[in-house]
Amino acid sequence: MPELLLASTSTYRRALLARLCVPFTTQAPGVDEAAVKATGKGPLAVVTELARQKARAVAARHPGAIVIGSDQAAAIDGEVLDKPGDVVRAAAQLRRLAGRAHELLTAVAIEHPAGVVEFVDTTRLHMRALSQAEIDRYLAAEAPFDCAGSYKIEGLGISLFERIDSQDQTAIIGLPLLRLGCELRRLGLRLP
């Protein structure tokens, strides 16, 4: 079986991939994400390019391996909502999302010896109206400062939403396992 690598340092993606019960290792891709985001391209182009660059960077160091690169962005009004990093930015993001629908784009690029497979999972999330007090309580309880959109859907963040339209709930956390599992099987990996 070929070596499988996850081009990511994300604990969320590592935990998701582990659910497929296939041996893999992780490696930091070392991609300049800020440079890609600074191009001014739309959210779909940004996540697609970042997933591709991450997979390509690690694959260049591991010829013959299968390398998974992924990137995710929350998008509203054609703009990317980055990981907020702190409570002030997180509160601003949640105020902007409150009472509205937005998209969560999760791009995957799988570099392998015969080429590359790329796909994007799009989830539409409908956040309920939120008061500032609710936003403050949520941020104090969960501190989602490392999450696109300022929420952790796998935790208390689920309480912020009215509806989620998704083909694969694992994509919301960072890696769409339904499609990924199919693609890895096609590439010859044995999954349960």
What totals of helices (H) and strands (E) does the chain contain, helices first? Answer: 7, 7
56/31 Cα distance (integer angstroms): 10
Instruction: Decide: helix, strand or coil at residue 186.
Output: helix
Residues known to be catalytic: 71
Cβ atoms within 10 A of the Cβ of 153, count?
21
Classify strands 4-6 and 25-26 as parallel, antiparallel or unpaired. parallel
Map residue 69 onto helix, strand or coil: strand
The residue with tokens 């999972």 is 121
| Contact of 66 with 184, CB cutoff 8 Å | yes
Beta-carbon-side half-sphere exposure of residue 9 (alpha carbons within 13 Å):
5
